Every structure is written in C-alpha cells, then in structure tokens.
Amino acid sequence: MTDWKKRGACLGYPAEVFHPEEPNAYRHAVKVCERCVVKARCLEFALELPGSAVRFGVYGGLTPPQRRRLRRDMEKAAPSPPETPFEATALNWDADAGIYREVK
C-alpha cells in the first residue's frame, strides 16, 4: 500500500462509504475527506488515472461529477502545445558579399 494511503482518514471505513450504490449518497464520504491530511494526494492520484478508471466513488473529497469538471477546467487551462520549433540553419559569413550564407 502506498504510504499516503496508510494515512488517509478513510482507512478503516467500508468501501461502500466511498463507492455507494446510490450516486447521491456521497455526503458521508465527503465529510470524512474534509478532515483528511492526504486529501490533495488522493485527488491527485484519481486525476492521474484515465477518466474511466475512477468514474465512481469519492477521491480527495470530490464526487465523480466534480472531478469531471475539474479535469475539464484543467484541460482548458493547460498551455497550448508549442508551435513547430524553428529549424536552426547553419550559416557562414560571406565577407565579400557582406551577408550570411547557408552552409550546405
């Protein structure tokens, strides 16, 4: 078991508390998470997994819809990939012409 999981406030609770059959029954789990010292790491863990891997349950104090919104917001805020990098071209100074010429 990962070290941070051993310190979770959820330790000792039945899994059904955090993965209830009734989707709106997350209230108790969220309350437990409020006092957890590793809540941020738990949420980070859930967000690192593919979205379908943690479709259910409470992680880091967030319900599945809350995590989906957070993922969506994070994707929107992510920086755009850089444009195609400039290709460096080797140049030599041609003193007679007073210009740089491409090295071939």
Percent of the chain topping pLDDT 70: 89
pLDDT level of residue 13 (50, 70, 90 thresholds): very high
SS3 of residue 92 by DSSP:
strand
Cα separation, 52 vs 33, in Å, equals 22
What is the pTM for the complete model shown? Answer: 0.68
**Residue range 36-62, pLDDT digits in tens:** 999 999 999 998 887 666 778 899 999
Check if the beta carbon of residue 60 is closer than 8 Å to that of residue 40.
yes
Fill in the DSSP letter of residue 53.
G
